[in-house]
A = this chain, B = another copy of it.
Amino acid sequence: MQPIRVAVLGAGTVGAEVANQLLSRAADLESRVGAPLVLAGVAVRDLDATRRPALPKELLTTDAESLVLGAHIVVELIGGVERARELVLLALESGADVVTGNKALLATHGPELFAAADRVGAQLNYEAAVGGAIPIIRPLRDSLAGDDVRRILGIVNGTTNFVLDRMDEHDDTLEEALADATRHGYAEADPSGDVSGTDAAHKAAILAGLAFHTRVPLASVPVEGIERITRDQIRASRETGHVVKLLAICERLTGPDGKEAVSARVHPALLPRRHPLASVRGANNAVYVEAESAGSLMFYGAGAGGPETASAVLGDLVSAARRHVIGGPGLAAPPSSGLPVIDAGLVSSRYQISLTVRDEPGVLARLASIVAEHDVSIETAQQTRAAAGGTATLVIGTHRAPEAALAAVVTALGGAPEVEAVAGVLRIEGE
């Protein structure tokens, strides 16, 4: 068989790992593909090789365009959006197959890229974009292709799961846990994209688009990070038998017009400790899928890391190469279901609202009437007198109600004279 020329774009942790495995495991990979995989080159921004000691200098190039145009399969691992989009489009338009782990690129330009791939019958594989080494893209795209996915709850960001797990296990503050994540290499120097939920939002948009066969623009995904999660909230969640997790939630639901719609969102949530996702510890990821016929499925594993992500990239690469060997076009993106994304305010949730209130008679009654005015009903209310200071803590658990109503309730409660502070608001999921 003719050798298959592979271009690797980017020599970061994952890019270097993929390039090195292509070199060191060449015979093994050839036996799986049925043809040799040849590393045509690695595109880098600058040729300062000191940062990439393990890669042979003669394979490095700054001319990504030429590398792409001479390759059968292009592996995009440079990250970022604009430059990556240019190079992926160039690759697809020249007929090359593309493997990428770039979640930001897919979340913002996915439909454009899938259309470009379909036009020329090229493959666009992206198993590494969500859940690191955990196979989740292919199961959703192919294995569940004949089922109706109702809901996905995903722990898709390892850094934030590590942080929340430390806070739960070691009673750390957010700052302590984050420092610990950095020390263990689970958080980057600037972890803001993780902590703010942005990384999880990219993945939620990708998963929702795939599960519901529709376009879910990143701008339609409401995001709340873990910045405001306090040790007190974690302690309180323990007491009620819950655990706090940052969840990517994708749901198929009925819109106000009675028609089906979808929602994708990211926020911290209280999960019952017996929920399968509650036991996902450390920097691990897991995706919990509820489908009409298949019931509940869970996919679990390491969500990040160089070798783990490289495993997903190489799986995509071998799949693309096998298709290249036997001929025929890549599997096209499935036709769109056209399901609309529902307005975020219409999604129903249950809230747990923690308030610091004046410790005087009648407070609960007055606050309960504020909640009722917004057509939200209270399921539980628990008041605990503070040790001193004339204040008490009131934790209100609501029944399911639209987000917009719940947000209005929180605002109204915050403005009530009896309320000194809204100590925290958490949604409850998985019950």
Within 8 A of B (CB), among A280-309: 291-302, 305, 307-308
Q: Mark A326-350, 1 if CB is under 8 A from B, else 0.
A: 1111011011010000000000000
Within 8 A of B (CB), among A314-336: 314-319, 322-323, 325-329, 331-332, 334-335
Q: Top 3 nearest A-B pairs by Cβ distance?
A: A328-B328, A146-B314, A135-B143
Copies per complex of this chain: 2
- CB-based nearest B residue for A319: B142
Query: In the complex, A334→B29 CA distance in Å?
Result: 11
Interface contact B138-A315, CB-CB below 8 Å: no
Interface contact A135-B300, CB-CB below 8 Å: no
A96 interface residue (CB < 8 Å to B): no
Residue in contact with A298 in the complex, picked from B31, B143, B298, CB distance below 8 Å:
B298
Chain A contacts to B: CB under 8 angstroms: 17, 21, 28-29, 31-34, 121, 127, 133-135, 137-139, 142-148, 213, 276, 279, 291-302, 305, 307-308, 310-319, 322-323, 325-329, 331-332, 334-335, 337
Interface contact B326-A326, CB-CB below 8 Å: no
Interface contact B335-A326, CB-CB below 8 Å: no
- CB-based nearest B residue for A276: B300
Interface contact A315-B135, CB-CB below 8 Å: no
Query: In the complex, A314→B147 CA distance in Å?
Result: 7
- CB-based nearest B residue for A288: B300
- Closest-CB distance, A257 to chain B (whole angstroms): 20
Interface contact A298-B297, CB-CB below 8 Å: no
